[in-house]
Amino acid sequence: MIATSRARKKLVLCEKPLAVSRTEAADIKRVAEETRTPIIIGTMHVYDPAYRAAQLVWHELADEARLVRSSIYLPSNDVFIDQATDQTTAQAAPQSVKPDPSDPAFQRDMIRAAMLGLAIHNIPLVREFYPSPGILHSARFLPPFGYSLSMSNGAQAARFSALMPGQWQPRWTLQVTGRTSSLRIVFPPSYVLSGSCRAVLASKDSAHVFEQAKSGYEIVWEHIADIVRERAVPSVSLETAVGDLGFALDLAGGAAGKIGEVP
């Protein structure tokens, strides 16, 4: 990404995560700012138009999140790829030695990978309601690939859970409970253009539903086109993206440190 920025390209689209360390992220940010290269992170849920509309109304209510829950339960990625593509041949997966899922070192590596590869999808959204990790109370690796984390920061609490792959329908949600209102967001399956998420913002006397025809995937590509044509600047700053990565790295390190810890 640094080399691309120095090549003076009009834009860099970066898959999640932005980097794997704070040092690397700082270097990327420095060079991007020096060369004035826009960088977009492929966090499609951040650009989901129904989520953005619901988040804006939540902000206008001036409510404060007390509990934030991020839940991701997915089948194999192959299920989504089959739905979104036409494959002419099937290739057998190479045989490999299966690691011991009870090995603490394996679990530490896997929970780090889960934070930077799976939890990172929702972390930018979580941070809009729960800005920093605070105290990590518990962290468990869930085989074959998943996690369960519990944390708090002052009067706020957060829960992260995920598990894949499984023989079930995808369920990808973000729930925010405040003092006087609640927000529940259900995201559509990955890779499939099935419209936006469905967000329900409820209070004591009313409930508002937010849904739109376009998905976050479509919106982010339209945004990229506008930036390349110099009609817009990135709606998510690089500073914010670096902050999102810092949150993920803190969770990765903290969760790995909890593995094998005696209760």
Longest dimension (CA), the chain: 57
- Domain coordinates in residue numbering, the chain: 44-82+99-235
Q: 52-80: per-residue pLDDT in tens?
A: 999 999 999 999 999 999 999 998 766 55
The strand ranges marked E within 105-231 are: 135-141, 145-153, 156-164, 171-178, 181-187, 198-203, 207-210
Q: 147-196: per-residue pLDDT in tens?
A: 999 999 999 999 999 999 888 888 999 999 999 999 999 999 887 788 99
Q: 202-240: per-residue pLDDT in tens?
A: 998 899 999 999 999 999 999 999 999 999 999 999 999
Q: 84-114: per-residue pLDDT in tens?
A: 556 565 555 555 667 888 899 999 999 999 9
Please state which CATH class domain 44-82+99-235 belongs to.
Answer: alpha beta
How deeply is 210 buried, as exposed, middle or buried, from its count of CB atoms within 10 A (0-12, 13-18, 19+)? buried
Mean pLDDT over 124-146 rounds to 96
Mean pLDDT over 125-152 rounds to 96
Q: 109-125: per-residue pLDDT in tens?
A: 999 999 999 999 999 99
| CA-to-CA dists, residue 139 to 107, 136, 244, 245, angstroms | 11, 8, 19, 19
